[in-house]
Amino acid sequence: VTCMFLHVDIFHLLCNMYALYVVGPRAEDFFGKWKFFLIYFISGISGSLLSIGLKPDALSVGASGAIFGVFGALLYFGYTYRGYIGAMIKSQILPAVLVNLAITFMYQGIDKGGHIGGLIGGIVVAYALGTIENKKYSLSNIMLLIIYLAFLIYMVFFRVA
């Protein structure tokens, strides 16, 4: 959890702060404060777990996994409410995700597992919690989130060498 709050240098911190400044308010509008907090926090944990699972000896820091989770939640929202914000998803959110994924795979030293784990985590958490308009929680959706996190935990702590 603490790696979400540590950064390599001031540039790394500023990049993550700017990304959160750009996408955070939109996600908070769509999901509400508490769901946004859960999306951010659980996505960050999801990114950290996948990062450890894929490269157990590597160190990873930064809020990028959590921010990718916010991107994933926005992708989920855009897919679910295509008629409402479909054009914005195609013109803004999807290109931003694709550019950030391209950067992730183009440069060494960027935690691929953290970014992918956060993105998937954001989609799963958003699916499990629903939007601000959807007040009811489905037990099957929550179970999907629990199974996903349990799989990541298993991958990290009980993997076969």
Q: Give the closest residue to 30 by CA, choosing from 65, 88, 78.
A: 78
64 included as an active-site residue: yes
HEC secondary structure over 69-119: HHHHHHHHHHHHCHHHHHHHHHHHHHHHHHHHHHHHHHCCCCCHHHHHHHH
CA dihedral 141, 84, 79, 113 (to 10 degrees): -90
The conformation of residue 5, written as its DSSP 8-state character, comes to G
Q: Which of 48, 51, 64, 140 is catalytic?
A: 64
Concerning whether 12 is annotated as a catalytic residue, the answer is: no
Token pair of 15 as six digits:
């990049």
Alpha carbon distance 76, 97 (integer Å): 12
CA atoms within 13 A on the CB side of 9: 1
Catalytic residue among 43, 115, 138, 140: 115
| Residues taking part in catalysis | 64, 115
